[in-house]
Amino acid sequence: MDKKLVIAMVGLPARGKSTMARKIAGTLKRDEVNVRIFNNGDIRRQLSPENTSGPELFSPENPEGVKFREKCARINLGSAREFLKTKGGVAIIDAANVTCRRRKLIRETFPDFPILFIECMNTDEEALEANLERKAFLKEFRHLSREKALDSFLKRIDFYESVYEPLHEERNFILVDSFEGCILQDKLTDLLPYYDRIRDLITTRIVRNLFLVRHGETYFNLENRIGGDSDLTDKGLAQASGLAEYFANERIPIIFTSNYKRTLQTAAPIAEKQEHCSIISLPEFNEIYAGVCDGMTYSEIREEMPEVAASRKKDKYDYVYPDGEGYVTMEKRIHRGLQKVFYLNNYDDNIMIVGHRAVNRMILSDFVFRPKDEVPYIYMPQNRYYHIQVDPHKKIFELKPYAPKAD
């Protein structure tokens, strides 16, 4: 039974369990480990394709629902056991497993295999709310309106919360903040295979494909004005259409933008070329606010506020506009925006961010080490995009054109 392991996910719905399971499985597979995810929900949807979205199925006061979900769990655990008894190395049980009774069933099913429980939680209410909004677009809710789907899912969570029992008596467990990507608590009683690797994966950001795009040309760009909320020019709209055509064959389930029109107008045609693509606007990705200089040209600033121009030129990264922001003050909000992106995005999905010049510079510097005094000068064109891949085995960083001829 050497190198065999059961990983049982634990946590309320929408806390990042499935994403964490895929993250662990994907990397262990690259390490040539035979790993498979066993999802209770998949069994439930197979056995009852017409009865998966109603919250009453998850009520602890519904005997038929309890019995049915117990049946699904036993089938799923049985499949995982058969997998481990043959050539399987790691079986990941992807389910809520929020009661001591259910976790006891897991231990009884695998008396001869080591078990690691990984509990996912999230205390960031804003990120959780955004994740819940996404759940309304799940396949099992497509016959419902967005409002009814969300209401159904929230009621489902309430039922899980009513019986929720945190980990405490399990021999081996890790408590994870899935939003922050950090380990809050762990307990190791047995010698577990892959344990160090799993801890590393939990705390490591893994990016399958991140497409970092700057918005198309705006009227403010033509006038060399900073900030504002300008619309795209005809050329900018053509650039957005070019991006849409270029990425039409890439699956992009979510496009993250700022709250400004220029990023939304760039993202819209890209989303239209996708199937079931959501646009999520994050204020954390709003362009650097120039305060009293917002809307001015750089020439006007040099002429009317020479002290501002001189001070910023001397230390562009640490300079903060009067009543505004600087690169240095954007650090926390950009970091928080990225946390939201990776919390809301599934591990194996492509990611697109349509941002601004300064914002994208900050995002890029989060992946590719650049001294802070170099960050304000990172090249951020409007006719190319940055492609980023990061995993425990490699890091790829490339600037690519999205049209045959860059203009």
Q: What is the 3-state secondary structure (H, E, C) of 143-185?
A: CCCHHHHHHHHHHHHHHHHHHCCCCCCCCEEEEEECCCCEEEE
Output the pLDDT for position 392: 80
**Residue 307 half-sphere exposure toward CB, CA atoms < 13 A:** 1
Note the Cα 395 to chain centre separation in Å. 18
- Collapse the DSSP code of 116 into the 3-class scheme (helix H, G, I; strand E, B; otherwise coil) and give the result: strand
Dump strand ranges (E) for 247-302. 254-257, 278-281
Q: Are 324 and 312 in contact (CB under 8 A)?
A: no
Residues annotated as catalytic are: 214-215, 221, 262, 287, 356
pTM of the predicted model as reported, rounded to 2 decimal places = 0.87
CA dist., res. 75 & res. 43, Å (int): 8
283: tokens are 């204020």
Separation in Å, CA 94 to CA 21, 73, 202, 278: 7, 10, 16, 25
d(CA 272, CA 336): 27
Tens of each residue's pLDDT in the chain, 407 residues: 468 999 999 999 989 999 999 999 999 998 999 999 999 999 998 898 666 678 899 999 999 999 999 999 999 999 999 999 999 999 999 999 999 999 999 999 999 999 999 999 987 888 888 787 777 667 777 777 878 888 888 999 999 999 999 998 899 999 999 998 899 999 999 999 999 999 999 998 889 899 999 999 999 999 999 999 999 999 999 999 999 999 999 999 999 999 999 999 999 999 999 988 989 999 999 999 999 999 999 999 999 999 999 999 999 999 999 999 999 999 999 999 999 999 888 887 899 999 999 999 999 998 888 889 999 999 999 999 999 999 888 889 999 999 755 44
Pairwise CA distance, residues 387 & 148, whole Å:
37
Domains, the chain, in order of start with CATH, read: 5-203 (3.40.50.300), 207-401 (3.40.50.1240)
Distances (CA, A) of 141 to 85, 127, 193, 278, 326: 36, 21, 38, 15, 43
